[in-house]
Chains A and B, each alone.
Chain A
Amino acid sequence: AQKVTQAQTEISVVEKEDVTLDCVYETRDTTYYLFWYKQPPSGELVFLIRRNSFDEQNEISGRYSWNFQKSTSSFNFTITASQVVDSAVYFCALRRDSGAGSYQLTFGKGTKLSVIP
């Protein structure tokens, strides 16, 4: 069975602070995909990144960076110099590469980030 755990339900930071959102996943598959989505107050989910299980290279995109570690089954997301516009709920998700349920994104319950000006 697939499972994604985002242990941090809510986080508050002051603007310009760095913040890391944790994501731990469980899967028996050797090939899978990991995702991060942002859900602003408007409700739609905004795709941020996809990572394939065979690619452990970390990625940086502007103020965003992702740390993928298969050894600890983690895919953490760091926002550097946070801004008020970063306030949202962030979801980590997992998808199987094949087999039953491979069309489904398994989501964590999300972390609500509040950036205080």
Chain B
Amino acid sequence: SQTIHQWPATLVQPVGSPLSLECTVEGTSNPNLYWYRQAAGRGLQLLFYSVGIGQISSEVPQNLSASRPQDRQFILSSKKLLLSDSGFYLCAWSVVREAEAFFGQGTRLTVV
């Protein structure tokens, strides 16, 4: 069966520090991968998606970047965190674009 792993679960980082969140999927090949952010009291917003290794599409301009160095690995990064980067970050995967997405357990990031 397919599983998705996301870490760390919680993270407190100072303003201006770098960020690296990692997500891996097991049990499937060539998945579509996604990074979503959920701000407090709001719905989820798609940040990045990837349809293959090295292929990254950004949905909103921001202080973050994403990379897909391997088929089932998706990384969310920042060189310098801002206070506004605080939120709950969720990685997800789907078999094809129109299918349902399955989410990881999320990372709660607090920038202080």
Contacts and interface: CB of A to CB of B under 8 A. Distances in A.
B104 A103 contact: no
A26 B29 CA distance: 33
B46 A44 contact: no
Given A97-B98, A103-B57, A44 B44 contact: no
A97 B102 CA distance: 18
Interface residues of A, number: 23
Contacts of B103: 37, 44-47
B10 to A, nearest CB: 10
Interface stretch (A11-19, A65-73, A75-83, A107-115): A107-115
A64 interface: no
A45 B51 CA distance: 21
A107 B43 CA distance: 6
Contacts, number: 56
Contact of A104 (B42, B49, B99): B49
Contacts of B45: 107
Nearest to A91: B43
Interface in A80-116: 91, 95, 97, 101-105, 107-110
B101 A102 contact: no
B67 interface: no
A43 B108 contact: yes
Interface in B68-84: none
B7 interface: no
Listed residue (B51, B57, B106) with the most chain A CB atoms within 10 angstroms of its CB? B106
Which interface residue of B97, B100, B102 has the most chain A CB atoms within 10 A? B100
Nearest to B105: A44
Nearest to A33: B98
Given A33-B98, A107-B43, A44 B49 contact: no
